[in-house]
Structure 1
Amino acid sequence: MPYEPPPELAALSLDEVAGLVAARKLPPVDQWSPAKTGHSEMRIAADGRWFHQEGEIRRPAMVRAFASLLTCDPDGQHWLVTPTQKLAIAVEDAAFIAIDVKQEGDALIFRLNTDDLVIAGPDHPIVAAGDPETPALYVAVRHGTRARLNRSTYAQLVEIALTGMLPEGEAPAATSKGARFSLVPA
């Protein structure tokens, strides 16, 4: 069955996004506890490109399949998990890149470089890291993984945040699904 990417983010309503997210059948990696561990010899570069033994994985379907098996433990180690093995994967910054954002009602919807859609909120918080001079914004994806907002998505989010009334002296923040997220690192 060929892969059909979702339509452009701007054309989707919140209900359509929620339906697409619910329809995506992801492996239950959080339920698997394989005894065999090792190293995948894979790396995700800071720009979102995937490599195996230093050769770039250029097939989007392969990247999407591997991405569905990703987890990140509390120590920040990323893993590719299958029912029979758990393989370490090197991640330079974040496992995903957020390449687009749209505000729809009270929600912020992100599209990732893997065509995954993420609705920011209490279960998928936006986190500001770095320092005020060189901030980096991330959105939680799943199983401890996160996506770094690329430059244009970062600019889109700041523009969305600045369209609201900003109380004097308060740092820019974005709200989604009832949660408020500072866009400036603490």
Structure 2
Amino acid sequence: MEHLNSLEHHFLIAMPNLTESWFDKTVIYIVEDNEHGTMGLVINLEHNLTVPELLDHFELTVEAPETYADQPVLMGGPVDLEHGFILHEPQGAWQKSLPLRDNLAMTVSEDFLKAMAEGTAPEKTVVCLGFSGWEKGQLNDEIQANNWLTIPYNEALLFDVPHDQKWQVALNTLGISPESLSMDAGHD
């Protein structure tokens, strides 16, 4: 099967035919897409934890509670649900941080959580537990099976759009509504 170009630094938008799956109406930021597979984070599925509750779990005293007061932790995917990932701008110098593109980074270290508690971390953050992963070629097969649409990275979609509106807004960037989508692929 033909390999599509890398989807790194793009969003996946779940098609309506995924309604009875974990990925129902999800938008996923693709962190990595290479010869080993694909890793992404769901950016619109809220966990029952808030950021202050997560910080409390790490016994970190929140010194600036208003900064992240109502910010939910997101469910980044069905894999490794106990592992945390933080997408943020600007990149900064954190212990375990992967610089991405457009001044975006993914950090997985407790020093970032401590900075959040102290109110010194970047304000633009998305905190996820778990991730979404695909083996080499699997995601391309799913895209060709009409399970996903893709769009380029958009900072506003990641950080500014309310989580419950991200799926609709992502579709709107393509000029389509959910009602106009077919569940059948237009190719064999």
Q: TM-score range by the shorter chain?
A: under 0.3
TM-score by length of 1: 0.25
TM-score by length of 2: 0.25
Considering Cα pairs closer than 8 Å and 6+ residues apart, tell me whether 1 or 2 has the greater RCO.
2
Higher strand share: 1
Higher helix share: 2
